[in-house]
Amino acid sequence: MMDDNRLVLLRTRHKGKTKEFLAPVSNAPHHSEFGVTDLSVLLEDENLDAVTSHMGQEFSVVSPRSPDFFRHSKRTGAPMIPKDIGLIMAHAGVCSSDNVLEAGTGSGSLAIYLGFVAKRVLSYEVREEFTKVARNNIEKAGLSNVEVRCGDLVEALPSLSEEFDVIILDMGGSEKAVSGCFEKLKKGGFLVTYSPFLEQAAQIREEIDKLDFFDCRTYECFEREISFSSRGTRPSTIPVGHTGYLTFARK
C-alpha cells in the first residue's frame, strides 16, 4: 500500500500522564519510547482507531485538529496562541467564504487555524528560512488553501490585485501597513492587528483614525486555567502571562 500523507494523533497513558505523537500514516514504522509501532495497518483500514507497539503499548488513533498542529508544529519564534486566535475568529467573524490576508507567517500557527476555517489564506513572511518551516507545518496539516509568500507585506500590498474580507497583522512595524491594508480590504471587512506593546497599539490606532474605518476597538484577552486536585480547586499557579493587544477596525 502507498503512503497517504495523512497525519494521525497517537495518544496513550503512561504513569498517569497522557503521551501523544503526531505521526505520518506510512509503511515506515513509528519509533517512540514505547518501541516500534506499525502504522501501515492504517493504510489498509483508515477507520482503525487503535494500534499497539511491539512492546504492547496501545495507542488510540484520532485525526489531528488545529490545537494538535499548534502543539506539535516546528516553531521559528513566538506563535500566536489559541486565546488570541479565538478572539480574532470571534470578533472578525472569520468564516468559510472568507479570503484572508495575514503577515507575518512566523511558523504558521495562526495561518493553520485560519486555513481550517476560511476559504483561502494568503500569508506573507519576510524571512525566507521561516517561510520554509511554515510551508512544511501547513503541508503537514493537509491544508491546500493556505499560500505562504516570501516578502515584506508593506512592499507587496500595492501589487496585490485582490480584495480581502479579513486582514491580520502580527509583525513589527504593522502601523506602516495600515493604509495599504485599508485599500485592500472589502467594505465591511476587518483589519486586525496584534501588538505586544501598548505603544505599538497606540501608533496603529493613530493610523486607523486617519482612515475611513467605521469602528475600532482594542482588547487584551486573559485566560485562566482552573486546576483540580485532591487538595482543592483553584486557578492554576502557572498562568499564561501577557501576550499582546488586539485591535479590530471595520471598514
Ligand X SMILES: C[S@@+](CC[C@H](N)C(=O)[O-])C[C@H]1O[C@@H](n2cnc3c(N)ncnc32)[C@H](O)[C@@H]1O
Q: Which residues bind ligand X (CB under 6 A)?
A: 77-80, 103-104, 106-110, 124-127, 130, 152-154, 170-173
Q: Which of 109, 117, 119 is nearest to 83 (CA)?
A: 109
* Bridge partners (DSSP) listed for residue 143: none
Instruction: Report phi then psi at 246, rounded to 5.
Output: -110, 125
Closer residue to ligand X in complex, CB, 149/186 = 149
Closer residue to ligand X in complex, CB, 94/103 = 103
Least separation in angstroms between residue 70's CB and ligand X is 9
Least separation in angstroms between residue 86's CB and ligand X is 13
Strands 226-229 and 232-235: antiparallel
Closer residue to ligand X in complex, CB, 67/235 = 67
Q: Which residue is nearest to ligand X (CB)?
A: 104
Closer residue to ligand X in complex, CB, 155/215 = 155
* Bridge partners (DSSP) listed for residue 7: 24
Cis preceding-peptide flag for 104 (omega within 30 of 0): yes
CA distance 10 to 93: 32
Residue 88's SS3 state is helix
Least separation in angstroms between residue 186's CB and ligand X is 21
Residue 1's SS3 state is coil
Least separation in angstroms between residue 167's CB and ligand X is 12
Least separation in angstroms between residue 197's CB and ligand X is 13
Closer residue to ligand X in complex, CB, 43/117 = 117
